Structure 1
Amino acid sequence: MSAVRVRSLLRHEMRMDALVRLITAAAAGGVLTLAFEPVAAWPLAFAALALVAWATLGVGFWAATATGFVFAATFWLLHIEWLTMYLGAVPWLALGLFMSLEWALGLGLAGWFVRRGMARLAHPALLAALWAAVWVAREALSSRVPYGGFAWGHISWTQSYSPLLSLSSWIGLPALSGLVVFVSVLPVCWMLTWRFPRWRAWLGGAVAVAVWALVPAWGSVTSAQGQLRVAAVQGNANAGLFSNETPGTILRNHLDAAEAVVDEDFDVMVWPENAVDLDVLRNASARAAVTEFVDRMGRPLVLGSVTTRGDDVYNSVIVWLPGVGPTQVYDKRHPVPFAEYMPDRWLWRPLAPDLVDLVPRGFSFGQASGNLDVAGVNAGVLICFETSDSDLVRGLVSGGAQVILAPTNNADFGHSDEAAQQLAITRAQAVAAGRSVVNVSTVSSSAIIDAGGAQLASLEDFTSGAMIATVPLHDAWAPSQLMGPVVEVGALLVAAGALVQRAALRVRRGRTASDQR
């Protein structure tokens, strides 16, 4: 390609003006929203990423950042609209725009790196791989910082109902995100460099498509080693953080729903997060009611309750044994910032005192592992939003978890899309980790999912009831247990290396220019 053609491409003359790119970016954000629940049209993730790549690749850092911000803001403000049901528009805007800024900076860096690569006539596959690496690196950071991160918009979640999800148990969810991004961006890189693939590239693509076609046949990467019969109860209770129910009502809802199956055949019963609306370890009436029920049932009960020890308040899951009482407690290790606790109150309160004061006292952070002995089985526990924390999932599997229990409380979000989005995340984690998951909510969406992603049982939203299923147990580690962290570290190193290389090049050019004066 001639230098004139490269300069023409870099000036974006082939894609009209900035306004067209901004409109394209906004459209891409809307399309990406449709790839997530409740529509869950997973192929649209590829289309959305191709559109935003077309709008941002080949331009400078600031132009790509601005265009990327339009894309991200459109996506985030649509994707987490359910947050307005909890605290109104201010937190929704704050979180949506913060996440948009994170995404925009990542797109700005990716666009800047690829622009330099285009100027040097780098191979389109290399450019697409670099763009994908920056995306995965940004996902890795946004999963952890600030305040424990927010992983709700990962591209891998769009594939929760795709045949590609089976691949995640081999390569991990970060690599699945990177693969989707790479495949989406590669045709755009070919187009922008005017380098059309030769027969070897077409052959490689055909082989890749053939491999993908075989993915559904691979199934779960770990074989089952035993089973556990689980009953999970959805009380259909108004268990929101600001619920005005009479104390004890939510407990009564779950006791009533559990009574319908108390004589059925199962090994353990699981209740949701906050299923007991009194401190069951300290309140005499709640403790007596649960003790009477469990002793009569004759099998273990795993329940969610807010507990207090000393000056600390915890969001807890408790194992309750017949004739014994509470034996093990897991305290939530990743409370939700600005909802379950208020980080840096000194910083945020001057900006929105009324909202900050709605959380007068936050939950303390649990320190112990979520691996609990439940009916002789090593069960890993994740509470609500913790299902999106892949570090916690890997920690449970490393700790020997044979099954994952995921009690949750979605009552604050009403009939919005939040619960369906969370269930899609939970399904992806189940397949990637090679573990069955019992996802049981106070209101919706309760389901039991095996390690291959099959739904073994479910309950209708906003109904009171119980589901019973024989859940396969797994001991072996899926390759994703190791591949996930390796891919994330590799992507961060690639992104950091590209940034250092660009910075060093600028310094060298500055010195050369200075010497020539």
Structure 2
Amino acid sequence: MPPAAAAGTLDAASGAPERSGRAKRGWPAWRELAGRTLLAAAGGVAALLAFPGYALLPLAVLAPAALALAVHGQRARVGAWLGLVCGLAFFVPLLSWTGVYVGAFPWLALAVSQALFVAVLGAATAAVSRLRWWPLWTAALWVADEALRGRVPLGGFPWGRLGTSQTDGPLLALAAYGGVPLVSFAVALTGTLLAAAVLALARSRTTTATAAGGRRPARRAAAAALAGAAAVPLLGAAAWLPLPGPSLTDGGPTRTVAVIQGDVPEAGLEFNARRRAVLDNHVQRTLELAEAVAAGERAQPDLVVWPENSSDIDPYTNADAAAQISRAAAAIGAPLLVGAVVEGPGEYLSNTGIVWDPRTGPGATYVKRHPVPLAEYVPARAFFRFFSDKVDLVRRDFTSGTEVGVLEMGGARVGDVICFEVVYDSLVADTVEAGAGMLVVQTNNATFGYTDESEQQLAASRLRAVEFGRTVVVAATSGISAVVAPDGSLVRRSELFTPAVFVEEVAQRDSTTVAARLGAAPEWALSALGAAAVLAVAVPALRTRRSGR
């Protein structure tokens, strides 16, 4: 099928011919619909290939390009179908790690729920494709759609945003000026401008040389769109100039930070069935580090970071667990940040980071503020049990913390976020605003086995490093642990299910990026821009319909 047929080369503004039959009801002929459906699916696959696991970063721009071409000039209902296809082609394979040990239903339910947001995006994109400057409005709609699914339902799930695919390259720099939403906007705008160029070139081919105006206006429009698409990454490249480089030690007083990845006895949901073995692994790695320090082979750390679930035995109620943690802290002579499951309050559990001093024992804590629904707590348990009895694997619900996780330890102000919290903009932003000189992500990825989940989560950490100009330390129970420089580059990283110990000098920064100062303003502004474009189409259409009645 030629591009003109697959993409819908007739712009609505140019006056598409009246159709009959199926087309009069808002649907194109089946062959055209099949071509558009394949194009939308290809867009979803292109987005997938840009993400960790494949890491073909430039392909990210082809997702908004393909969807824009597929829905251009179509009715909203057609756009919704094409958006759904694009979303399924992306989210079903991207989120396959969610079903590794719990079966296909939870995985597919989550993937379909996220694809439904892309269906809304497809409908809105089809609507604004009739407007002048539609590439700009469409790119803004991508931001609005990601903002919506990052907040609803149940607090949202901002996983797989376009921006988090850009872990290298020029567009990554834009995170320092507008966070992940601005990076997503840049990716989408590049793609929609490419789509506009394709449409303009197709029009130039179907326009006769003797027609009014000839082919030149279409060719000029194509050149302008291509120039705009090239300008976006060039702007991103220029945006790197004032930003921090790959050094961990520039920008403030340094502290020596050790990261312990103790590993787990086995992957899967039963990784903590032998909870004492997991704790012992982290104690043993710390004791080995202490021996290396005593022998002069490693630098003496000022603080040591253990991952989430490094002690699923509550050290407040279990004297033996407390004694082992104290033993490790005393041996290394530095405070430990322990990831522990703590009893209470009441019938609940708390996913907690505990600062464990080598002399005084447990001190300041941070309780995870965004437990994962259906994984750490089950809302409306009876309702969800109707669909899957896997919800009963969550025997007790975790509570939500209320305090920002800035912890004083070893002369550092550590901003602690736990596991999936790293993908929630506000949870990281308020941690930096509260004075964090470095960021720590405590995580446990053992429940996802040898999948791309760890790589995808690490990608989010790399965006956060650039967004806030901070070193990000990732401590994972079974991998991937990492040390990320303020420019998003990886200084150190571990492999999955392999014990690892890192020791690095890390500057405690107090500088503030533009993104940190603006907060959510860029996201709200871009979302409002997209919503205004939809209203510009919807309001006149409603008035026309009412007058017709």
The aligned residue for residue 7 of structure 1 is 16
Deviates more, 1:284-293 or 1:239-248: 239-248
SS of structure 2 residue aligned to 1:327:
strand
Q: Distance in 1 between matches of 2:406 and 2:226?
A: 48
Counting matched residue pairs gives 505
The aligned residue for residue 197 of structure 1 is 220
Asked whether the equivalents of residues 481 and 494 of structure 2 are also in contact (C-alpha less than 8 Å), the reply is yes
Q: Distance in 2 between matches of 1:317 and 1:298?
A: 19
The aligned residue for residue 251 of structure 2 is 224
Unaligned stretches of 5+ residues in structure 1: none
Q: Distance in 2 between matches of 1:218 and 1:367?
A: 35
Q: Distance in 2 between matches of 1:501 and 1:53?
A: 18
Asked whether the equivalents of residues 174 and 484 of structure 1 are also in contact (C-alpha less than 8 Å), the reply is no
**Aligned equivalent of 1:134, options 124, 127, 141:** 141
Asked whether the equivalents of residues 457 and 468 of structure 1 are also in contact (C-alpha less than 8 Å), the reply is no
Structure 2 letter corresponding to 1:418: E
Instruction: Deviation per CA, 1:50-73: give whole Å up to 9, x if none.
Output: 122211222111101101111110
Q: Distance in 1 between matches of 2:102 and 2:199?
A: 44
The aligned residue for residue 209 of structure 2 is none
Q: 1:9 to 1:295 in 2, by over 3 A?
A: farther
SS of structure 2 residue aligned to 1:428:
helix
Identity %: 33
* 1:468, distance to aligned residue in structure 2 (A): 0.8
The aligned residue for residue 4 of structure 2 is none
SS of structure 2 residue aligned to 1:261:
helix
Q: Distance in 2 between matches of 1:282 and 1:495?
A: 52
- The answer to whether 1:513 aligns with 2:513 is no
SS of structure 1 residue aligned to 2:259:
strand
Structure 1 letter corresponding to 2:545: G
Q: Distance in 1 between matches of 2:535 and 2:363?
A: 52
* Counterparts of residues 39-438 of structure 1 (less than 5 Å): 39-114=54-129, 116-117=130-131, 122=132, 126-192=133-199, 194=203, 195-197=218-220, 208=232, 210-220=234-244, 224-237=251-264, 238=266, 241-243=269-271, 245-262=273-290, 263=293, 264=298, 265-311=300-346, 312-352=348-388, 354-438=389-473
Deviates more, 1:477-486 or 1:232-241: 232-241
Structure 1 letter corresponding to 2:274: T
Q: Distance in 2 between matches of 1:8 and 1:190?
A: 22
- The answer to whether 1:446 aligns with 2:481 is yes
Deviates more, 1:5-14 or 1:278-287: 5-14
Asked whether the equivalents of residues 286 and 328 of structure 2 are also in contact (C-alpha less than 8 Å), the reply is no
Instruction: Deviation per CA, 1:120-176: give whole Å up to 9, x if none.
Output: xx2xxx201110111101111111111111111100011012232122112322011
Q: Distance in 2 between matches of 1:436 and 1:146?
A: 32
How large is the Cα RMSD of the aligned pairs? 2.5
Q: 1:362 to 1:411 in 2, by over 3 A?
A: same
SS of structure 2 residue aligned to 1:7:
coil
Asked whether the equivalents of residues 169 and 432 of structure 1 are also in contact (C-alpha less than 8 Å), the reply is yes
Unaligned stretches of 5+ residues in structure 2: 1-9, 204-217
SS of structure 1 residue aligned to 2:101:
helix
Asked whether the equivalents of residues 169 and 220 of structure 1 are also in contact (C-alpha less than 8 Å), the reply is no
Asked whether the equivalents of residues 232 and 270 of structure 1 are also in contact (C-alpha less than 8 Å), the reply is yes
SS of structure 1 residue aligned to 2:393:
coil
Instruction: Deviation per CA, 1:293-316: give whole Å up to 9, x if none.
Output: 212322110010100134131011
Q: 1:252 to 1:375 in 2, by over 3 A?
A: same
Asked whether the equivalents of residues 136 and 178 of structure 1 are also in contact (C-alpha less than 8 Å), the reply is yes
So what's the TM-score if we normalise by structure 1?
0.91
* 1:216, distance to aligned residue in structure 2 (A): 4.7
* 1:261, distance to aligned residue in structure 2 (A): 1.1
Asked whether the equivalents of residues 9 and 192 of structure 1 are also in contact (C-alpha less than 8 Å), the reply is no
So what's the TM-score if we normalise by structure 2?
0.86
